[in-house]
């Protein structure tokens, strides 16, 4: 049976992956929602205007929106379907995208209700990454995940931990 930590990571990965595939698709095409697509176009125009440095580098609002949308779709697919380390890389990239989106919203002075979703999903991405890293650390420690002996192995670990914490007096 899978551990609660594993179930949590899988559920978060799947839900976050689907969300980012959906949001990235809205940024790239009007097929899902024409109104949402037009709203994204308008928002990214205001972001590009607020950052004149982007225009100097040749980055238009359309390119910015398409790059972020493509990143969201591709990382969302990885979070949803690909096992192993690539999920953590995708998670980290999406976290960077969420930080950039939060920066853009702050830059143009949007109210909280316009960027609350980015804040919430940034927190969820952080939690998923921390849980994934924590389970990796526990698997790498010697004796971690040892389920034999139940109470006996737990007691042995506690005694071992107490022995490590003793101070020798000479």
Residue 151 pLDDT > 70: no
Residue 169 lies in a domain: no
Residue 170 lies in a domain: no
- Burial tier of 3 (Cβ tally within 10 Å: 0-12, 13-18, 19+): exposed
Residue 53 lies in a domain: yes
161 — pLDDT class (breaks 50, 70, 90): low
Residue 148 lies in a domain: yes
Residue pair 70/28 in contact (Cβ under 8 Å)? The answer is yes
Residue 128 lies in a domain: yes
- Measured distance CA(153)–CA(157) in Å, rounded: 6
Q: How many separate domains does the chain show? A: 1
Residue 157 lies in a domain: yes
pTM score, whole prediction: 0.76
Residue pair 124/16 in contact (Cβ under 8 Å)? The answer is yes
Residue 116 pLDDT > 80: yes
Alpha-carbon radius of gyration of the chain: 22
Q: What is the pLDDT of residues 3-53, one digit of tens each?
A: 888 888 999 999 999 999 999 999 999 999 999 999 999 999 998 888 888
Residue 58 lies in a domain: yes
Residue 69 lies in a domain: yes
Q: Which domain holds residue 29?
A: 4-164
Residue 149's pLDDT is 46
């Amino acid at each position: 049976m899978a551990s609660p930590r594993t179930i949590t990571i899988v559920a978060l990965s799947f839900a976050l992956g689907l969300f980012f595939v959906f949001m990235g698709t809205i940024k790239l095409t009007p097929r899902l929602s024409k109104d949402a697509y037009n709203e994204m176009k308008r928002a990214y125009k205001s972001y590009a205007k607020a950052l004149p440095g982007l225009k100097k580098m040749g980055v238009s609002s359309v390119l910015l929106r398409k790059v972020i949308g493509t990143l969201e779709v591709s990382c969302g697919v990885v979070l949803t379907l690909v096992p192993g380390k690539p999920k953590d890389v995708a998670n980290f990239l999406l976290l960077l995208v969420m930080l950039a989106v939060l920066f853009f919203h702050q830059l143009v002075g949007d109210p909280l209700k316009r960027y609350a979703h980015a804040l919430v999903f940034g927190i969820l991405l952080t939690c998923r990454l921390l849980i994934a890293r924590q389970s990796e650390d526990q698997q790498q420690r010697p004796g971690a995940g040892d389920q034999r002996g139940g109470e006996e192995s737990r007691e042995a670990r506690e005694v071992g931990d107490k022995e490590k914490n003793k101070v020798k007096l000479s």
